[in-house]
Structure 1
Amino acid sequence: MKKYDAIIIGFGQGARTLATKLTANKWKVALIEKNELMYGGSCVNIGCIPTKILEHDAREQIDYATALKRKNEVTQRNRNTEFTSMQKSEQVDLYTGTGSFKSNHVIIVDLGDQTEELEAEYIFIDTGSESNYPPIEGLKETKGIYNSTELQSLPEVPKSLGIIGAGNIGLEFASIYEMFGSKVTLFETGEQFMPKEEREVAEAVQQVLEDKEITIQLNARTNKVSNEKDQVKLETEDNKEFLFDAVLVATGRKPNTAYLNLENTEIVVDEKGGIEVNDYLETAVEHVFALGDVKGGYQFTYITINDAKLIADYVLGKGNRKRSERLHVPYSIFIEPSFARVGLTEAKAKEQGYQVITNTAPVSGTTRSDVINDTRGLYKAVVNKETDEILGVTLFGDQAHELVNQVKMAMDNHIPYTYLRDQVVTHPVMSEIFSTLFDM
């Protein structure tokens, strides 16, 4: 049995960050990744970076074959960089195999032709998440059904694309593939489009998508898929039938814990499959930690990286950061134009007992919209009437994914909305919209 200072299961961005910090402090680390095509994790290989490359190139009207080639080249380059960064470290042993628990601090690595037993006082689980498939008849047997990883590997753009699920992933792929020339239909099971978002902004997003001729089916629960010649027939509960060249299942992701054999440990898993952790991301087993998607909750690469930094500070004794102190997590949906939010919606703020003032500002009211010839979009702000602090913003329009981070910093530092309203900024830029948005 080989002994290490630390074992990290899963080679994602959090794992790389954590390994780098531990080895800088002379820890001997075993890093385990079961798939050589996933060095660097989902973001590098199948998530953030490749999908945003496709989104960028589609927006720039680059043809799909060229965009796909660039996506693959960048992905391979980044994956090789991740691999090399760990392989060249004398403090890291990289195992390409499946790691699972034999006991609380012993890991078995299945390398295919042999197994290794590893032991460490500290173990870190960064195995990410996997696609969550709903119970739809025919889903496994039907050809032409894809998850988000498989769809972006198709050599050609499907002429017609059905997307089951209108969450973040579904919306991004709808926008990308529409720009590449697909006729897209989105299926949302609920009565409202983007039900957790501000109604005015959600309606603005819906209008833009429909102007692009993306069809949005509400109250549309898929109950069966099958093949009809070379196409996919999709049937909903209200007996409607649709034919597509391809169907994307975008119904969320779940923590990837199935192969970890957690039953051999005292690690506790919640009702949604996420590994339960405390404020320092430590599991029920002392010195065993979980970071990123595998613990449930936010499924963003930047959360995973922040988790890794928090854990490193804790185990190295260099800080006392807590997960509960991580406030105002922003998120963006890379549709065209982009959508972003941080903090509370008006409805949630009132539900929590705040007295609020709100305002909206159309992108069309900015000089920047004339410069870029894009007047689409709507921004909305929610402010605490008693303290003047910003409770949340929802941004839809050019640069939303960038501007949301400015508001997040203001919220973190308890800066009143008037500060953003009264700033002197360069011209003509989209951040000038804050002078209108916060003119309450």
Structure 2
Amino acid sequence: MKKIDVKNIVVGFGKGGKTLAKFLAVKGESVVVIEQSPRMYGGTCINIGCIPSKFLIVNGEKGLKFTEAAEKKAMLTGNLNLKNYHMIADEATAEVIDGKAKFVSDHEIEVMDAEGEVIAQLIGERIFINTGATPVLPPIPGLVDSRNVVTSTELMDLKQLPEHLTIIGSGYIGLEFASMFASYGSKVTVLDIFDNFLPRDDEDISKLVRSDLESRGIIFKLGVKIDAITDNSVEIINKEGKKVSILSDKILVATGRKPNTAGLGLENTNIQLGQRGEIVVNDKLETTVQNVWALGDVHGGLQFTYTSLDDFRIVSNNLYGDGKRSLSDRKNVPTSVFITPALSKVGLNEKDAKAAGIDYRLFKLAATAIPKSAVLNQSKGLLKALVDPETDKILGITIYAEESYETINLISLAIEVGLPYTLLRDKIYTHPTMTEALNDLFAAKNEVK
């Protein structure tokens, strides 16, 4: 058994942790990264999240057969996994240890193998927890016993296309998988106990998204009770009180994710947890124990790989920079849902502004008016922008249109630096592009009075 005194311990190989480990190792500091699954070198994004899912989405839209796309996806993630391992392991002062980390005190960690045997004992001057999030499994009878219930992790591993896919949960993760598998030809049914579809979005946007998804054959059953699950069906009670059986080859549970802190032994430390099991941190990502930080999904913030990367920037800046970066700087973070077409947002929408009593000017443009939409043969969608009537600054934008995940970054920057909407309206853009839609979106004729 190894006994190691090390300056830096990183628990978890996610985006923030791996980037920090590389940063510290390059500085010549000793670093040990603990990862319980060799499959997860590099974190969720490259192995079972953003990269493979978007790869499958893109190839589904191209008409590639699922079996071929799944095979190519596996090669892609395998290469990225290996690259990320060597990014850390090849550093002279860094080491990767495979095993399950468990705190035995504030700065002491045991590492156990798959059989539960302790293989290493570590004492770290600094510890960075980067264990991510894990799926929430609702207490539905039969769920844990069904051979065909999967989370997003197992669904990404499928080699054969399910004929009937049932998705429990109509949130963003559920919709991405619904759109993806529908593009390959699966019959997709989405279930949710709640009536409201995309409740945080404006009603005109959510209605349009649902209508477009339904036009592709996706069936929504909302406001239902999920009564039980078997190996090949989901039993629901619909709004009329009738019991309905939905045939299902695979059943995806997409009911949210929670911080992955169970089993870390945090009860043996003075690290404080919040109500959802998240690690409590301050504005600098410091926990309630000195020289212990939490990065990424585990501290309960936005669950995106790019915010985890920004967590790295905060920590590294406070260790070796001017110490000015903090969570308070994180404003106007753009988001994208990779359905077809994509739904992207930053800042306020109408629902937010009305709830907060904020006055605004509204601009709207149908995606059919954008020349690039015709080029892409994808003219569905709607753009909506809110502008401050006093300053002309952009308050927020929702873009439900092709390639919105690219345009949204420009808008995010414009909001961040306080540019007036007129600058984007009068800007010269390349043609044909989706970004040039900003010329027309902000034109006077498209203001909604």
- TM-score norm. by structure 2 comes to 0.95
1:318, CA displacement in angstroms? 4.1
Partner-residue secondary structure (3-state), 1:186: strand
Q: 1:197-208, aligned counterparts within 5 Å? A: 197-208=201-212
**1:418: which partner in 2?**
422
Contact 2:201 2:351 in 1 (8 A): no
Alignment correspondent of 2:196: 192
Residue 398 (structure 1) aligns with: 402
Structure 2: distance between partners of 1:369 and 1:93: 49
Match of 2:235 in 1: 234
Which segment drifts farther, 12-21 or 314-323? 314-323
Task: Write the letter of the residue equivalent to 1:52.
Answer: K
Moved more, 238-247 or 152-161: 238-247
Aligned residue for 2:263, secondary structure, equals: coil
Distance in 2 (CA, whole Å) between partners of 1:6 and 1:318 is 21
Q: Is the 8 A contact 1:342 1:392 kept in 2?
A: yes
| Separation (CA, whole Å) in 1 of partners of 2:318 and 2:296 | 16
2:386 maps to which residue?
382
Contact 2:169 2:190 in 1 (8 A): yes
Q: Which of the residues 168, 172, 177 maps onto 2:172?
A: 168
Question: Which amino acid is the alignment partner of residue 373 of structure 2?
Answer: S
Report the residue type matching 2:61 in the other structure.
R
Match of 1:153, SS?
coil
Match of 1:428 in 2: 432
Two-structure CA RMSD over aligned residues (Å): 1.3
- 2:124 equivalent to 1:123: no
Identify unmatched segments of 5+ residues in structure 2.
none
Letter in 1 for 2:417: N
Amino acid at match of 1:235: I
- 3-state secondary structure, aligned to 1:240: strand
Runs of 4+ in 1 over 6 A off after TM superposition: none
Residue 265 of structure 2 aligns with which residue? 261
Aligned counterpart for 2:53 among listed residues 51, 66, 70: 51
Q: Distance in 2 between matches of 1:351 and 1:40?
A: 40
Aligned residue for 1:98?
100
**Matching residue of 1:66:** 68
DSSP-derived class of the 1:254 partner: strand
Offset, 1:372: 2.0
User: Cα offset for 1:235?
Assistant: 2.1
Counterpart of 2:254, as a letter, is A
Give the aligned residue type for 1:233. V
Q: Return the alpha-carbon distance in structure 1 between the equivalents of residues 435 and 33 of structure 2.
A: 43
Whichever residue aligns with residue 61 of structure 1, its letter is G
Please report how far the alpha carbon of residue 116 of structure 1 lies from its aligned counterpart in structure 2 after TM superposition.
Answer: 1.6
Task: Render the CA deviation track for 1:367-394: whole Å, top value 9, x for unaligned.
Answer: 2222222211111111222222111111
Secondary structure of residue in 2 paired with 1:310:
helix
Identity in percent: 38
Residue deviations 1:311-331 (CA, integer Å, cap 9, x gap): 011122444201111111111
Structure 1 match to 2:36: 34
CA shift, 1:154, in A, is 1.8
CA contact (8 A) 1:17 1:309 kept: no
Structure 1: give runs of 5+ residues left out of the alignment.
Answer: none
Q: Secondary structure at the match of 1:43?
A: helix
- Show the counterpart of 2:344: 340
Deviates more, 1:331-340 or 1:425-434: 425-434
3-state SS of 2:8 partner: strand
The 2-side partners of 1:49 and 1:221 are apart by 33
Name the SS of the counterpart of 1:431 in structure 2: coil
Give the 3 Å change call, closer, same or farther, for CA 434–388 of structure 1 in structure 2. same
Q: Deviations over 1:279-319 (max 9, x none)?
A: 00000111100010001121100011110121011122444
Q: Which amino acid aligns with 1:236?
A: I
Alpha-carbon shift at residue 6 of structure 1 (Å)? 0.7
Hey, what does 2:150 align to over in structure 1? 146
2:275 — aligned with what? 271
Q: Is the 8 A contact 2:226 2:234 kept in 1?
A: no
- The superposition leaves residues 382-430 of structure 1 with CA deviations (integer Å, 9 ceiling, x where unpaired) of 1222222111111111111111111000000011111111111122211
Q: How many residue pairs are counted as aligned between the two chains? A: 437
Equivalent position SS for 1:162: strand
Q: What is the identity, as a one-letter code, of the residue corresponding to 2:91?
A: S
Q: Secondary structure at the match of 2:73?
A: helix
Match among 73, 77, 94 for residue 79 of structure 2: 77
1:224–1:236: 8 Å Cα contact kept in structure 2? no
CA distance in 2, matches of 1:233, 1:217: 12
Q: Does 1:364 align with 2:368?
A: yes
Counterparts of 1:289-368 in structure 2 under 5 Å?
Answer: 289-368=293-372
1:355–1:386: 8 Å Cα contact kept in structure 2?
no
Report the TM-score when normalising by structure 1: 0.97
Q: Distance in 2 between matches of 1:223 and 1:420?
A: 51
**What residue number does 2:141 align with?**
137
The one of 3, 6, 14 equivalent to 2:5 is 3
